[in-house]
């Protein structure tokens, strides 16, 4: 049966030994008092919550799902109690600023928390999924009166929040949003202005539920006289329960029946002259929304990693216990007479298992490196360092969102194969991971939208400068690996990836003139290429750490050799895939034929 044990030892090894996070914390005033022991305590506690409270609710959440009635949405058994316990434990406020009532811990601890809760129970994790982003928006963009009323209960998790963007005709294209915001008579259109909101939204995660008494909706809408397209959008804060305790005119008309995350209520929402307030300047709603979205994208990236981890550990466990046929290499202690060996010893399964492990390790190193950059961007005393870190996060965010969610879903789908026919049977649970993980490739901007964001806005916008800085920084790892003969293959693999990245960037920068479709045509490959380059960097970093006795994993976890084996498998068996992506980026001439048939 599917289980989930939070990989706390692996996370700590990556943070402390591979990435040296404690040394970074010492340079950031806000985290100067944090050390490895405290980090271990926090992650162990979070791991216990994920493994012991959330994971046992996962299968039931899928089977029972949410139930809708005109009176509201009932979440699956145990979800409400788990949320209360999560709030009680102070988890929603882990990374929030102390002045807002938070614990002020770094993203480097909050992102592993997000990985764990998503891996343990993706459906449940949807409810707080947008909370951190909503807090950011209220904190930065709301007028003091609204901030005073809404920030503290959102930070603590007493209330939950939604992001109301999508409408039936406005998915990837938010410029098509039609929800109207009217000004209350006599009030000027300024930040904080009271509004009446009318319109319909779809795919609103947690639009209605029974976990919290109030739900704060952040609604993308149009003020009177707003221009067409995305530049005419404003953002409104619309609570389910008004300050006077009355129910606002916010209705949930139904929930979707979905492929997965059945425990998450995906709501059709109707606003009928609902009361709300403008958040941020008029017609500047999209900018505020992006603040929320960037945070949400990293959260989704961690869902991808979480699914990959869950798939990996379940596949290893099942394959170690399932005996079928003799393997060509026998496991230690196998008797010549026994009828079969664990399938983990059959070469096809060993490849599968090592491939899952190699991806999980490397993706986690990249994710936590990204978290450390977030912390540096937020807390470093040097403004130049803050800006540089922010520039790297800007590149890493769409890559992590798209590449990790793809790794998570494909990894789960690959892992299912280890179970044979049992993998297709609901009670074994891996098929739920396959279904749940699929949505992460779509929401918060489809993976194709992430690729366009990466290529147009993050790589080409500044002539490739920001990317050049990131590539140089990654190349430093190859230089360090070259000092040890045993690490040469890792140095070479990484350098090859970074060279390919530089060449692809150059090809795009020159080739886009006169062929506007070119960057769009190869954006998905560019993202996949960059994703592989980041994995190559992570495998090199893991290998260098494994070669250093002073950075040995803590006893009780995996051995240094184990980490090295997986990293070596990564560069030998997985990295060659990158070549296909880089080659496609480089082939400028392969235009796409017109789809004349589509137009008829």
Residues labelled catalytic: 444
Give the shortest CB-73-to-a second copy separation in angstroms: 17
Minimum CB separation of residue 11 from a second copy in Å reads 18
Residues 6+ away with beta carbon under 8 Å from 412: 307, 308, 310, 311, 430, 433, 434, 437
Place of tokens 């005996």: 323
Q: Do 89 and 104 contact (CB within 8 A), yes or no? A: no
Q: Name which of 243 and 333 has its Cβ closer to a second copy.
A: 333
- Do 177 and 165 contact (CB within 8 A), yes or no? yes
Output 295 or 447, the one with its CB closest to a second copy.
447
**Cβ at position 591, least distance to a second copy in Å:** 9
Output 186 or 339, the one with its CB closest to a second copy.
339
Class of residue 545 by CB neighbours under 10 A (exposed 0-12, middle 13-18, buried 19+):
buried
Q: How far is the CB of 527 from a second copy (least distance, A)?
A: 11
Q: Tell me the β-bridge partners of 215.
A: 160
What's the min distance (Å) between Cβ of 570 and a second copy? 12
Strands 72-74 and 67-69: antiparallel
- Name the minimum Å distance from CB 150 to a second copy: 27
Least Å from the CB of residue 268 to a second copy:
11
Residue 1 or 387 with smaller CB distance to a second copy: 1
DSSP of 457-519, one letter per residue?
Answer: IIIITTTTHHHHHHHHHHHHHHHHHTTSGGGHHHHHHHHHHHHHHHHHHHHHHHHTTT-TTHH
Residue 367 is classified by DSSP as: H
Nearest residue (CB) to a second copy, 299 versus 409 = 409
**Nearer to a second copy by C-beta: 147 or 521?**
521
Distances in Å between the alpha carbon of 347 and those of 329, 351, 474, 507? Answer: 9, 6, 33, 40
Burial 382-400 (b: 16+ CB within 10 A, else e): eeeeeebbebbbbbbbbbb
SS3 250: strand
Distance CA 1, CA 314 (A): 8
* 418 dihedral zone (left: phi>0; alpha: psi -120 to 50; beta): alpha
Considering beta carbons, is residue 186 or 593 the nearer one to a second copy?
Answer: 593
Q: What is the 3-state secondary structure (H, E, C) of 140-155?
A: HHCCHHHHHHHHHHHH
């Amino acid at each position: 049966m599917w289980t989930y044990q939070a990989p706390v030892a692996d996370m700590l090894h990556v943070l402390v030994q591979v990435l040296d996070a404690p040394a970074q914390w010492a340079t950031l005033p806000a985290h100067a008092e944090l050390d490895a022991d405290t980090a271990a305590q926090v992650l162990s506690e979070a791991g216990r919550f994920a493994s012991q409270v959330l994971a046992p609710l996962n299968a039931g959440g899928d089977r029972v799902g949410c139930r809708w009635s005109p009176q509201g949405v009932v979440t699956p058994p145990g979800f409400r109690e788990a949320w209360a316990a999560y709030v009680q434990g102070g988890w929603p406020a882990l990374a929030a600023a102390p002045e807002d009532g938070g614990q002020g811990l770094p993203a480097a601890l909050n992102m592993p928390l997000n990985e764990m809760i998503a891996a343990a129970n993706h459906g449940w994790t949807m409810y707080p999924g947008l909370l951190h982003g909503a807090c950011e928006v209220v904190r930065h963009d709301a007028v003091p009166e609204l901030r005073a009323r809404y920030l503290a209960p959102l930070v603590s998790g007493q209330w939950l929040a939604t992001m109301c963007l999508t409408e039936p005709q406005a998915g990837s294209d938010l410029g098509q949003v039609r929800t109207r915001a009217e000004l209350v008579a006599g009030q000027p259109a300024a930040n904080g202005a009271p509004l009446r909101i009318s319109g319909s939204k779809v795919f609103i995660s947690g639009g209605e539920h029974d976990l919290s008494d109030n739900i704060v909706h952040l609604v993308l809408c149009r003020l009177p006289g707003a221009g067409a397209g995305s530049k005419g959008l404003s953002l409104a804060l619309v609570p389910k329960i008004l300050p006077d305790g009355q129910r606002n005119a916010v209705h949930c008309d139904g929930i979707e029946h979905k492929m997965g995350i059945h425990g998450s209520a995906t709501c059709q929402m109707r606003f009928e002259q609902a009361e709300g307030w403008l958040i941020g300047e008029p017609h500047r709603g999209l900018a505020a929304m992006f603040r929320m979205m960037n945070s949400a994208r990293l959260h989704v990236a961690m869902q991808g990693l979480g699914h990959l981890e869950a798939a990996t550990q379940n596949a290893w466990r099942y394959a170690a216990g399932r005996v079928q046929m003799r393997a060509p290499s026998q496991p230690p202690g196998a008797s010549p007479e026994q009828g079969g060996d664990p399938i983990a010893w059959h070469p096809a399964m060993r490849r599968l298992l090592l491939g899952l492990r190699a991806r999980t390790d490397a993706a986690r190193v990249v994710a936590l490196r990204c978290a450390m950059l977030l912390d540096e961007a937020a807390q470093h005393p040097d403004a130049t360092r803050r800006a540089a870190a922010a520039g790297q996060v800007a590149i890493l965010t769409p890559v992590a969102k798209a590449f990790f969610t793809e790794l998570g879903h494909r990894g789960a789908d690959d892992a299912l194969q280890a179970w044979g026919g049992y993998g297709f049977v609901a009670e074994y649970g891996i098929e739920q991971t396959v279904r749940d993980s699929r949505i992460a490739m779509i929401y918060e901007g489809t993976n194709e939208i992430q690729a366009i964001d990466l290529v147009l806005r993050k790589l080409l916008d500044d002539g490739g400068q920001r990317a050049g800085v990131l590539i140089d920084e990654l190349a430093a790892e190859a230089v360090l690996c070259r000092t040890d003969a045993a690490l040469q293959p890792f140095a070479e693999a990484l350098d090859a990836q970074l060279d390919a990245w530089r060449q692809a960037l150059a090809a795009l920068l020159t080739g886009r003139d006169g062929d506007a479709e070119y960057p769009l045509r190869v954006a998905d490959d560019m993202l996949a290429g960059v994703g592989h380059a980041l994995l190559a960097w992570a495998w090199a970093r893991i290998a260098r750490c494994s070669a250093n006795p002073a950075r040995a994993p803590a006893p009780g976890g995996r051995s240094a050799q184990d980490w090295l084996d997986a990293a070596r498998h990564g560069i030998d068996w997985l990295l060659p895939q990158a070549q296909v992506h880089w080659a496609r980026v480089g082939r400028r001439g392969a235009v796409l034929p017109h789809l004349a048939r589509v137009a008829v």
